[in-house]
Amino acid sequence: MQKALNNRVLQWVFVVSAIVITISGFQLPFFWDGPYFSGLAIHYFDTNFTSIIPPEEYDTGQFPLFSLYLGLAWSVFGKSLLVSHLAFLPVIIGLAIEFFRFARRFVYYTYLPFAVVLFLADPAIITQSLYMSYDVVEAWFFLFSLNRLLEKKVFSFSFGLLILSMISTRSVLLLPPLFIIYLYRRSDVSVAKRIRESLMLFAPAALFLSLWNIFHYNETGWFLVSPLRSKTHESLGSAAMIPRQAIYILWKLADSGRVFLWLIALVPFFFYSRRTRMTRRKQGVGGILMLSLFFTAIPMIFLKNPIAHRYFLFSFPILIILVVRNLQYLTRFRYSRLIVFILVFVLISGNFWMYPQRFGNAWDTSLKSFPYGKLYQKTIADIHDNQISLKEVASEFPLIINSNKLFIDEGNSCMIDLDDTTMSKVPYILYSNVSNSFSPDEIRILNSNWQPVFSNKDGMIVMTLFRNPDKRN
């Protein structure tokens, strides 16, 4: 009785903590890929949802669940950044509840606080939650589906699969591992019955994907791969790219201090003994983690799309549970407490890890990006104060994103996309270390040949406006 009460109290302390952290970030704009979804939501809102098919520049072939949800929220409560954050609160609460629910299956109740603290310290989970990322929705419903599978709640499990089929291509890739896990969990019945049951449970998701792709093809003439992206990020890379993409995947999984979590998670695989022997039920969390990562990572290896940390957000909560589960078997409680304290410190420090510009940095999955919104607004204001038109300014992603998609207002900050022109043709370039798209050569030319007009700095973020010396006013 006391154990159940303590679990209940801890769960609600956890949920309230997640809510408080989220509320503290209500002033944060949409960031990185977030403006893609807010921009599409603006389109739905402005057109009164006349067509569910996204405009060509937004259309990736996937059902636009998240953008539709945002647009509907604005339709009811008003279009604003605050309403966007409030609309995202149920996602945060849902993820926190499902994480705790999943952790209880594998972690002793005395170790549950360790799982909670590590969850709240993870840079990617917290940052993506504050930026209202659809990857958090994916993580929520992946855990939701896992919990319902393990609890044998078949209708809820099937509902979770249906939602996963609507979120994104990457969430669809989580369906095969869930299918395999279900077959494994039902090993007590015949193979024929297992397959028959699983087909019934996965039928709604499969039916939706089929109908959506047929409908989308009839409306647009294509499905799965957009013609606008068929020769860019969504195209197949060369054989030489495969090892590099694999290395990038490993790096993103281990970055921001998470490398130490992986060391603890993998310890039993290398140092297995009777003393660390675990039941099949307790070993399951490691299999779930590896299986889901395998099915999501393999397709990424063959595509040109740059690998991002958030692509694996769904796996980080499971990794945390695996780490705490291993600690409870491998060390005494007092040592576990010390190890978790060190891990929390390392994870928090991971928010501020910086790499050379050519490697890119985890701006959208670390707290160091939080000054971006205010600094961006100040920089745009300074450009206007210098009587410079934004039509004369070129930049790279994410600075070229129109401010109305960031702050959900009537602002307009359209700049020239440097990818669509050359440095010699533009009068000004707005540089920021937040962008991972400036090449080393471009940065060298800016610093050595171009004239700085002004520079703004906040925290670890710098924004500098450079004037082309060959285009004097």
Which of 126-135, 209-218, 221-230, 328-337 is predicted least confidently? 221-230
Indicate if the pLDDT at residue 209 is higher than 90.
yes
Is 366 inside a domain boundary? no
Is 192 inside a domain boundary? yes
pLDDT digits (tens, 9 = 90+) for 36-81: 999 999 999 999 999 999 998 898 889 999 999 999 999 999 999 9
- Residues 345, 390, single domain; the answer is no
Is 123 inside a domain boundary? yes
Q: Are 314 and 292 in contact (CB under 8 A)?
A: yes
DSSP type of residue 428: E
Which of 108-112, 185-189, 293-297, 378-382 is predicted least confidently? 185-189
- Residues 146, 264, single domain; the answer is yes
- Residues 352, 417, single domain; the answer is no
Q: For 180, how many CA atoms within 13 A lie in the half-sphere containing its CB?
A: 13
Give the closest residue to 14 by CA, choosing from 82, 103, 145.
Answer: 103
CA quadruple 354, 357, 363, 367: dihedral sign:
positive
Is 364 inside a domain boundary? no
Q: For 221, how many CA atoms within 13 A lie in the half-sphere containing its CB?
A: 3
CA dist 189 and 104 (Å) reads 26
- Residues 311, 264, single domain; the answer is yes
- Residues 259, 297, single domain; the answer is yes
Q: Are 430 and 388 in contact (CB under 8 A)?
A: no
pLDDT digits (tens, 9 = 90+) for 226-254: 777 655 556 666 777 888 888 989 999 99
- Residues 172, 321, single domain; the answer is yes
> What is the full DSSP assignment across 367-416?
GGGTTHHHHHHHHHHHHHHTT--GGGEEE-TTTTS-HHHHHSSS-----E
- Residues 321, 411, single domain; the answer is no
Give the closest residue to 96 by CA, choosing from 81, 77, 83, 115.
Answer: 115
CA dist 298 and 292 (Å) reads 10
Indicate if the pLDDT at residue 414 is higher than 50.
yes
Which two three-digit tokens encode residue 216? Answer: 């989308």
CA dist 65 and 279 (Å) reads 39
CA dist 276 and 331 (Å) reads 10
CA dist 456 and 464 (Å) reads 6
CA dist 345 and 104 (Å) reads 24
Mean pLDDT of the chain: 88
pTM of the model: 0.92
DSSP type of residue 156: H
Is 473 inside a domain boundary? no
Neighbours of 80 (CB within 10 A): 13
- Residues 120, 161, single domain; the answer is yes
Structure confidence at residue 274 (pLDDT) = 44
Domain count along the chain: 2
Give the sheet arrangement for strand 451-458, strand by strand: 416-417, 393-395, 428-432, 461-467, 451-458
**Could you say which of 333, 357, 381 is where a domain stops?**
357
Is 472 inside a domain boundary? no
- Residues 384, 340, single domain; the answer is no
Cα 433–439–445 angle (5° rounding)? 90
CA dist 415 and 58 (Å) reads 19
- Residues 22, 152, single domain; the answer is yes
Q: Are 362 and 353 in contact (CB under 8 A)?
A: yes
pLDDT digits (tens, 9 = 90+) for 264-297: 998 776 655 444 444 444 458 888 999 999 999 9
- The mean pLDDT of 294-314, rounded to a whole number, is 89
Domain containing residue 383: 371-467
Rounded to the nearest 5 percent, the helix, strand and coil shares of the chain are 65, 5, 30
Is 363 inside a domain boundary? no
Q: Please state, for a pLDDT cut of 70, what percent of the chain lies above it.
A: 93
Structure confidence at residue 291 (pLDDT) = 93
Is 215 inside a domain boundary? yes
CA dist 473 and 467 (Å) reads 10
- The mean pLDDT of 368-380, rounded to a whole number, is 94
**Could you say which of 297, 328, 357 is where a domain stops?**
357
Which of 12-26, 221-235, 452-466 is predicted least confidently? 221-235
**Could you say which of 296, 329, 357 is where a domain stops?**
357
- Residues 280, 312, single domain; the answer is yes
- Residues 223, 314, single domain; the answer is yes
